[in-house]
């Protein structure tokens, strides 16, 4: 969970995989963003790359907001 003055973001990992060369990885799952009374849900994909020192850096962060729930 990440929290700031802009609200709270919670990630629910669905899975991850690493390349055979161990320098590239991805993770995916569901997320929710809360800011006051507004809550947004969606899915995410993060691609990570190891630099020359072996430190992991976020290379790509994609998020897709889920459509609002249908009202009965």
Q: Which domains does the chain have, with CATH numbers?
A: 2-63 (3.10.450.50)
Q: What is the pTM of this model?
A: 0.78
3-state SS class at 67: coil
Identify which of 38, 24, 33, 26 has the alpha carbon closest to the alpha carbon of residue 64. Answer: 33
Spatial CA neighbour of 45 closest among 15, 68, 22? 15
Mean pLDDT, each 10-residue run in order, the chain (72 residues):
74 96 96 89 96 95 87 75
DSSP 51: -
């Amino acid at each position: 969970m990440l929290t700031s003055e802009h609200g709270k973001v919670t990630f629910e990992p669905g899975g991850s995989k690493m390349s055979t060369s161990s320098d590239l990885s991805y993770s995916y799952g569901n997320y929710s963003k809360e800011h006051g009374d507004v809550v947004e849900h969606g899915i995410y994909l993060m691609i990570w790359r190891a630099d020359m020192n072996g430190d992991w850096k976020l290379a790509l962060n994609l998020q897709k907001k889920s459509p609002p729930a249908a009202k009965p």
